Structure 1
Amino acid sequence: MKRRNLLNFAAPNTRKTVAVAVPRPASAGAAQPAVNWRMATSWPKSADIVFGAITTICQRVSTATGGRFTIVPYAVDEIVSAPGILDAVSEGIVECGHTSGHYYLDRNPSLAFAASVPFGLNPQQQNAWLYEGGGLEAVQNLYADFGILSFPAGNTGTQMGGWFRRKIETVADLEGLKMRIPGLGGRVMSKLGVDVRDIPAHKIATALIDGEIEATEWIGPHDDEKMGLHRAAPFYYYPAWWSPSETFDLLVHRNSWDTLPPEYQEILKTAAMEANVMMVARYHIANGEALQRFVVGDTQLLPYSDAILTAARDAAFELYEETAARDATFRQIYEPWKQFRTRVYRWNRVNEIGFAQFAFNSTD
């Protein structure tokens, strides 16, 4: 894999704005070509908020081009499996795909930054890093090694900390725990003694009920409820320190992108940005409603102890330092990202936490 110098794209003082122009709809008489694409995705259609954002992208593109540019989305396994999207787009099997960088850490661990990293950035902070902090340029350079252009195209918001069949009160309680948790979160949990299992999404609930695993994470209350996880385990923990946000990517085959008229390119970028904003807004509403149903039911809502959170944070940054020491590409993103994180944390500690500590506790 080519190793580009990412410092030019992710330096702490970078202030290059990622501007997305709002395109004018293509006029009926414009001499624009008819373009028909397929989009493979990592998601089932039952994940309605995620798939709804994907549908929004496709609808906006069609509407803005007068039906001249169409994209047909396909659910997971209709064309390729969830982790098969990267290769499908890279090889031109499909023109574009919707997925998460977490599926490809074995290909390049730096792709975790495209999605989220433990004790990283919340949705607003993640967007600030991507659009104004050099993050998008850095992520696009990672995907460029696969012949792909990428755009943020959805965010789950801050997730929940998973379902457990027994209480987890101390770090020692994690030792030997069989848990389904992917990505860097799984690698951190492994450092804490967890027996990390790799189980596809459609088998999670059954594995939890049957005792193949004792704990799992998925996304948040809305999607967890659809999967029936609240019927498989009684203890629901928070926060998901491994996913303070989760950005999904629209991946585009570079050669296919280059053949698009510039107007179509701008329309697709704008549609992806809309999906990125709207997905987290929809999750804010749906997750709150689902969590309330859990609370009035049999679910026990519990926070992770400070001891577990501290141990997880220390293990996470130990993992980052170890990875940066042996992987130059990871280091070139991680170092400026870490500086950005420090700056935005300092600001949000004053403006957001100062507000939330009072206001959020003053409601019923």
Structure 2
Amino acid sequence: MDRRSLIRNAGIAGVLATGIAPAVHAQPAIRWRLASSFPKSLDTLYGGAEVFAARVKAMSGGKFEISTHAAGELMPAFGVVDGVQQGTVEVAHTAPYYFFGKSEVFALGCAIPFGLNSRQMTAWMHEGNGKKLMAEFYAKYNIVNFPAGNTGAQMGGWYRKEIKSAADIKGLKFRVGGFAGKVIERMGGVPQNIPGGEIYQALEKGTIDAAEWVGPYDDLKLGFAKVAPFYYYPGWWEGGPELDVFINDKAFNGLSAENKAIVESAAADAHIFVQSRYDARNPAALKQLVGAGTKLRPFSNDVMNAAFKASQELYEDIGSKNADWKKIFADYSSFRTESNLWFRFTEMTFDRFMQAQKLG
């Protein structure tokens, strides 16, 4: 008798009675590799990738595993976009603005000088047009993206000498993340794009005069206070930089609907983890740095105003040459204007009042 006819006519009970069981095709296990742009020593940044991978494994019951690899293990820190685009790895965890050299639009998916703060960035991505617009852009690089972390507003970096005015930026060899270097360059500085694991050595040897990374928690670990005494704030170029998971589009589109949802949910968990850990651990680290002699300084109004002016001129210039930038920045800028109006009456006023109080 034909096996399929037997199954159809006899029903499952009859089939089992004959000892012939229908074939069961188990879903094959999925194994991906993730390349991070960060060293393992930075447990919050690299940790975001680990949280992402752990959540994917847990939600899939162990059927979907992603191995995480620090910068340099599979490819250089700044090689991860090429790795994902070419399918060398399925996924990367990185700061999109590192790749502004490919297109300035990458910076809009992370942070630009005097841009959105962390909450505004998350709102633009999830409730504004940010996710849609950036997804259309990343598709040109065979990338599917999900927000997977935000550091919150960063510090302005470590300097061998005081920065009293905009004139002190001239000639300054400054390690500054990605896109912000374009503004520093317009101010007369000499930007250097150096991976996190290589900054201390460059600062110690005098290859650079100043460096920024993230904030106290990471900066304390990296030891910058040992070789540069002045610590400035705020990091006007990074009011709310977003980290992303970049996934090869063929790999992502090959997933089931369930696994696609797992990936998106895991990225959201990583997003919360990164900023939560920074917000929880930066205060104690800053106290430790200041207690050990770090000289905390605010940027002067002269520096802030000069940087703001240079930023606006830069955005206008880019828009005249890059159609993708012009389109996405227009939406980004409009969202920023509306959001700042709201924050002006709520968040900012509340925060300023609370920070002036003496709390036990």
Mark yes or no: TM-score above 0.5. Answer: yes
Q: Deviations over 1:82-128 (max 9, x none)?
A: 11111111111111111111121111111101110100011101000
Aligned partner of residue 282 in structure 1, secondary structure = helix
**C-alpha distance in 2 between matches for 1:49 and 1:30:** 40
**Distance (Å, rounded) in 2 between the aligned partners of 1:100 and 1:113:** 11
Give the CA deviation at 1:30.
9.9
1:320 corresponds to 2:320: no
- Map 1:14-29; keep pairs closer than 5 Å: none
| Amino acid paired to 1:71 | I
- Match of 2:11? none
Q: Tell which deviates more after alignment, 113-122 or 196-205.
A: 196-205
Secondary structure of 1:150's aligned partner? strand
Residue in structure 2 matched with residue 202 of structure 1 by the alignment: 197
Aligned residue for 1:250, secondary structure, equals strand
User: Of residues 287, 290, 309 in structure 1, which corresponds to 2:304?
Assistant: 309
Q: Choose between structure 1 and 2 for higher RCO, CA contacts under 8 A separated by at least 6 residues.
A: 1
Distance 1:51 1:74 in 2: 9
SS of residue in 1 equivalent to 2:44: helix
- 1:296-338, Cα deviation, whole Å (9 max, x unpaired): 1110100000111011011101100110011111000011111
Question: Normalization by structure 2: what TM-score?
Answer: 0.91
Cα deviation 1:252-287 (Å, max 9, x = unaligned): 111111111110110110000111112101000111
Contact 2:53 2:66 in 1 (8 A): yes
Q: Which residue of 2 is the match for residue 169 of structure 1?
A: 164
Is 1:89 the counterpart of 2:50 in the alignment?
no
Match of 1:258 among 235, 253, 257: 253
* Helix, strand or coil at the partner of 1:248: strand
Match of 1:338 in 2: 333
Q: CA deviation at 1:163?
A: 0.2
Percent identity over paired residues = 38
Partner of residue 113, structure 2? 118
Task: Write the distance in 2 (CA, Å) between the matches of 1:70 and 1:327.
Answer: 39
- What TM-score do you get using the length of structure 1 for normalisation? 0.90
Aligned partner (choices 279, 282, 290) of residue 277 of structure 2: 282
What is residue 212 of structure 1 aligned with on the other side? 207
RMSD: 1.3
SS at match of 1:154: strand
Of the candidates 273, 293, 300, which is equivalent to residue 298 of structure 1?
A: 293
Amino acid at match of 1:150: N
1:149 partnered with 2:144: yes
Question: 1:94-109, aligned counterparts within 5 Å?
Answer: 94-109=89-104
Equivalent pair of 1:56/1:275 in contact (CA under 8 Å): yes
Q: SS in structure 1 opposite 2:82?
A: helix
Question: How far off is 1:66 after superposition?
Answer: 1.1
Is the 8 Å Cα contact of residues 32 and 261 (structure 1) preserved in structure 2?
A: no
Determine helix, strand or coil for the equivalent of 2:243: strand
Q: Decide whether aligned partners of structure 1 residues 314 and 30 sit closer, same or farther in structure 2, where only a CA change above 3 A counts.
A: farther
Q: Which whole-Å CA distance do the structure 1 matches of 2:25 and 2:268 have between them?
A: 25
Segments of 4+ moved more than 6 angstroms: none
Q: How many angstroms does 1:184 deviate by?
A: 2.2
Q: Mind listing any 5+ residue stretches in structure 2 that lack a counterpart?
A: 1-23
